[in-house]
Amino acid sequence: MTPAPSGFTTSIIGSTSFFQGLLASPPPIGSTTPNSGAFTTLTTTGNVGVGTSSPNAKIDLGSSTGLNGIYVYDDGTGASGLGISTNTLNVFSAGTTIAFGTGYTLLSGYTPAMMLKSGGLGINQDPTNWYTFTPLIVASKTQNADSSIGIGNPTIGTSASATYKIIGGTANSYLNLSLVDNNGSPYLVNDLGSGVTYAKWGFGGAERMRITAAGNVGIGTTSPGYLLTVNGTGSFTGTLLANGGTVLSSVTNPANNPITGTPSSSTYLRGDGTWVTSLSNAVTTATGSTTSRTLAARAADFVNLEDFGAVGDGVTDDTVSVNAWIAEVLSTGNVGYAPAGNYKVTSPILIDYVSVATTGFTLMGAGVQRTVFTSTVTTGAAFQLYCSGGTVPSPKIGVYPKITQLAFYANTVGPTLRIGNYDFSDQQNLVRLEIWCSNSSNDSSARCIEMNSCYGCYIQYNGGLGATNPPSYTLSAAGINLSLRQSSFSQFFISMGSTANNTTGAILGTATGVWFSDGFSYGNVFTTPDFEIFDVAVRITSANAVRNTFVGGEWAYKSYGVVATTGSDNVFINPNINATTPFFQSGVNAVGVSRVDATSLFDYQLAAPAPGDTVTSGTVRTLRLTQGGTLASLTILLPPSPFDGQMFDIFTTYAIAALTLTPTPFDTITTLPASSKVSFLFNAGGNQWIRVG
């Protein structure tokens, strides 16, 4: 045994000996080398070396240079080991793994509490044997144990970005979470477990938002029922879109006021943050225009009948609504619009437009047979257009009323639609109608349209007269489809009919298509009139029905096309006759009328012969002789080369004392009284003219 240095004692435990003692200034004692190489060294500086002859630390177990502290090396090369020096604890490895464990399992086959391996840190987990990659850090416990990791940056004011991948315990589900700028204190809470169908986020320990499994987002609520449910005050500073279209754009709230009022299904949010029950003051600019207007102003451009409570189902009484609608149209001057529907009225609808007599008004519908007004009035006019305040000597004049794309139905002893006052106390000018009008009454006083003192009008209408009860149509019409009383210089485009037997086609009743009755009716033009199944298509009983013209059209009648007991110069040009009876009634019932068609270049000829003259009629249909007083004698040459059934009329305003007709007709006549008419028919079988009236 080696003797102990001065100041030390030698101690032996078992087969191991060591020096024990304390020196104030221990001298260097060298080293002991029981085999080859140094075993233990004590230097004069107090360093003790085990396995090294030049210890660089107070206790140096291994081999290294320039270090202070305690170092433990695995093989004396300094490649792997444990070192403690000033302010430093060093654990180093020449391999890829550094592991920390507890208990006596540390030296052989154990599960480490913490392991550094291949650049990853594992807690209760080998980081290289986790999922499909080696993370920077991983903590693992059994499936049913909670795992918690705390990560934070206590330095206020710094900014950082970190991404965490959180892996669930089922099918390796995962959540990626990125946190940027830790100045606040946000946190993510994901409630796990069976039956949980949402994720939620909060601040300061309170939930602020959640997303359900259905994709609904709730802010301020734990039960969002829509894709976005907000319980509280919201603000939009940009554009709000729905289905790709702008709903609200650049909404501003100058006062930055909070939204006030109570939202409901009948309220609207204005740009100033107020819930209101009307958008009347909302402003919009029409595409292509330059000026914005309120919705109320734009909506008022058309006065809608349904805005006044009208239902239009044919059952509800809409009388009050219709009257209010008309009053608003006349008050504002805006166009009145009636949507499609059947508007029932139970009292006369009187349109007195004296307040706009100089500017007129417009009523329009959705289509002639789509917007219908049905009246239950049974006596008098069901609908009337007029101007009040006039007298017969000084009638009130109204202009520019327009009614279009509407239908009027009634069953009344009187007119369905009366235009103007019956007593001529007003005067209607430039009336424009584009309508359907019918009267199902079979009374002789029934009318579809009655026009009183109307001038320069444009009338386009289709109408029916008489009851319709299929299949037999046994009821017969007896009234007038269009009654003209002192109406002049107007244009008519008409299609009208009365009743006929649905099986045989026989015309029923005594209805008339157009009737010129009272007053002055000058210069009206009927273009392609359509007369269907009338007894008489046109009847003239006014002496002042003058120079009215009918052009073409369809003429289906039972008795006559025209019956004229008076009037003058009324012309019928090339009518398409669908009847077997004469077009004109003969004699005194065909006064002042003439027909122009392919058989006559001119329908009448004016002549003022002197006594003893010979007048050649040529190809005319009617010869009119106009001269006052009495003509002593006159010879008239009848039309040459007549066709079978050709008619020839002579009308004279003065008396003819001695009349000679060449060739001489059968049952000829030798004198004519003043204001008389005589008619002849050519019979080709006998090659002779026959007097027929």
pLDDT confidence band for 54 (50 / 70 / 90): confident
Angstrom distances, CA of residue 145 to CA of 139, 140, 142, 148:
12, 9, 5, 10
pLDDT confidence band for 192 (50 / 70 / 90): very low
For residue range 247-289, what is the model confidence (pLDDT) as tens digits?
Answer: 544 444 545 555 555 656 666 666 555 666 666 667 778 788 8
Rounded average pLDDT over 159-166: 53
What does the longest C-alpha to C-alpha distance in the chain come to? Answer: 195
> What pLDDT, on a 0 to 100 scale, did the predictor assign at position 325?
97
**DSSP-based three-state secondary structure for 70:** strand
Tokens coding 99: 């592991």
Inter-residue contact 207 to 200 (CB < 8 Å):
yes
Tokens coding 139: 């903590």
For residues 178 and 157, what is the distance between their CA atoms, to the nearest angstrom?
18
pLDDT confidence band for 344 (50 / 70 / 90): very high
Q: Specify burial of residue 563 (Cβ count, 10 A radius: 0-12, 13-18, 19+).
A: buried
SS (H, E, C) 595-647: EECCCCCCCEEEECCCCCCEEECCCCCEEEECCCCEEEEEEEECCCCCCCCCE
For residues 83 and 252, what is the distance between their CA atoms, to the nearest angstrom?
69
Tokens coding 310: 């009208």
For residues 86 and 574, what is the distance between their CA atoms, to the nearest angstrom?
130
**DSSP-based three-state secondary structure for 58:** coil
Residues 527-538 as b/e (b if ≥16 CB within 10 A, e otherwise) read eebbbbbbbbbb
Model pTM score:
0.55
- Sign of the CA dihedral 347, 349, 354, 355? positive
675 residue type, one letter: S
For residues 211 and 416, what is the distance between their CA atoms, to the nearest angstrom?
67
Rounded average pLDDT over 25-42: 51
For residues 514 and 537, what is the distance between their CA atoms, to the nearest angstrom?
6
Percent of the chain topping pLDDT 90: 31
For residues 111 and 99, what is the distance between their CA atoms, to the nearest angstrom?
9
396 residue type, one letter: K
Rounded average pLDDT over 568-586: 84
For residues 204 and 209, what is the distance between their CA atoms, to the nearest angstrom?
13
Omega of the bond leading into 112 within 30 degrees of 0 (cis): no
For residues 563 and 175, what is the distance between their CA atoms, to the nearest angstrom?
98
Phi first, then psi, for residue 128 (nearest 5°) are -85, -5
DSSP 3-state percent helix, strand, coil across the chain (nearest 5): 5, 45, 50
For residue range 663-689, what is the model confidence (pLDDT) as tens digits?
Answer: 988 888 888 888 888 888 888 778 888
> What pLDDT, on a 0 to 100 scale, did the predictor assign at position 392?
94
Inter-residue contact 459 to 444 (CB < 8 Å):
no
Q: Which residues contact 484 (CB under 8 A, 6 or more apart)?
A: 451, 514, 515, 516, 517, 521, 524, 545
Inter-residue contact 336 to 364 (CB < 8 Å):
yes
Phi first, then psi, for residue 181 (nearest 5°) are 65, 105
For residues 631 and 628, what is the distance between their CA atoms, to the nearest angstrom?
9
For residues 627 and 606, what is the distance between their CA atoms, to the nearest angstrom?
10
> What pLDDT, on a 0 to 100 scale, did the predictor assign at position 94?
65
Which residues face 348 on adjacent strands? none
For residues 64 and 70, what is the distance between their CA atoms, to the nearest angstrom?
11
Rounded average pLDDT over 508-515: 85
| Domains by residue range for the chain, with CATH | 8-95 (no CATH), 99-139 (no CATH), 161-230 (no CATH), 600-693 (2.60.120)
Flag whether pLDDT at 155 surpasses 60: no
Residue, of 193 and 658, whose pLDDT is higher? 658
Closest CA to 530 of 463, 469, 468, 470: 463
DSSP state of 110: -
DSSP state of 142: -
Angstrom distances, CA of residue 619 to CA of 403, 584, 639, 672:
45, 18, 6, 22
Rounded average pLDDT over 545-563: 92
Number of Cβ within 10 Å of residue 574's Cβ equals: 12
